[in-house]
Amino acid sequence: MRRGAAVLTAAGLLLTGCAASGSPAGETEAPGSGMLQPVIKANFPDPDVLEVDGRYYAYATNDNAKNVQFATSDDLEVWEVQGEDALPELPSWIVPGKTWAPEVSQVGDGFVMYFTASNFSPSVQCIGVATADTPEGPFEVAGESMLVCPEEEGGAIDASTAVVDGHLHLVWKNDGNCCGLDTWLQAVPLTADGLALAGAPVRLIKQDLEWEGDLVEAPTILERDGQLVLLYSANSYGDDRYAIGAATAPGLEGPWTKFDEPVLSTTVADSRLLGPGGQDVVEGPDGDVLVFHGWDPAFSYRAMFTLPLEWDGARPVPVLDGL
């Protein structure tokens, strides 16, 4: 749940360290290691965080024999990875074991999850939708097909939500890098129940800066000082080139203006983080918090990290000093 996408009424690796099911996940490594320490020291990539009644819920890409992992916290610092699967059952038209980048929003009296998964036909990654009565789930897939599945654009992945002009919008990336196409971040309004599209997609940005490599993905939209701010991830998620960028616009239709360099990268963090990305922004007890994944030093799993997020005008500034 992106900051700003508030409640809207209806009108592969095994867990390591201390992140065993139902156990605290915030144990740190020995002092002097030099690396920033994760709040979930386990494979917990593409995190999405939702706050409900003072409790935080983090959802992540499939692992540990779960379609959607989730964890809970009272303070965004100490987390418990739960033993249950938030999305325990998949319909026959979804390929099992490839459920990625969940996004959960509170809509009316219930909760809606947008997730990336592979179809059997067409055989591309697309965005599905599921519902539940509580943030813990279990979520159940809604409908008989994917919600967003532009086969001609390579499919669609990395759903997020944002409330813009009072309407809930779905934001995603067309998976063009799968097949030699551009990757566009796109947005479209949703129906009041969050289960269907209510308009035509608007294209926001594509990859056009050197540091972005072949793709942009993982969009996060929020509002700041009367402008829309788009955070996104870019480049190859599998190594330390992956990084978080930002752009601003007066509205979804643009024009969008990118900041030339990443707001958070391996270089920006002086190699204390490796390949940060897959971000979300949540309002914490003391202000905005950037939630994201980063590689462990051996590049064997992507852990979940948090950083305080400050602002220089409309530019997001993750706070690294003093950590």
What are the pLDDT digits (tens) for 229-288? 999 999 999 999 999 999 999 999 999 999 999 999 999 999 999 999 999 999 999 999
> 99, 62 in Cβ contact below 8 A?
yes
Q: Which residues of 111-124 are buried (b: 16+ CB within 10 A; e: fewer)?
A: bbbbbbbbbeeeeb
Q: What angle (nearest 5°) sits at the alpha carbon of residue 62, between those of residues 56 and 64? A: 95
Please give the Cα distance from 115 to 290 (Å, whole number). Answer: 21
What are the pLDDT digits (tens) for 80-108? 999 999 999 999 999 999 999 999 999 99
One-letter amino acid of 51: E
pTM summary value: 0.91
Query: Is the Cα dihedral 133, 134, 137, 138 positive or negative?
Result: negative
Domain 35-318 has CATH 3.20.20.80: no
> 232, 264 in Cβ contact below 8 A?
no
State residue 33's pLDDT score. Answer: 61
Please give the average per-residue pLDDT across 13-20, as a whole number. 32
Residue 58, beta-bridge partner list: 49, 71
Q: In what order do the strands lie in the sheet with 167-174?
A: 156-164, 167-174, 184-189, 202-206
Please give the Cα distance from 79 to 224 (Å, whole number). Answer: 28
Task: Provide the percentage of residues in the chain whose pLDDT is more than 70.
Answer: 90
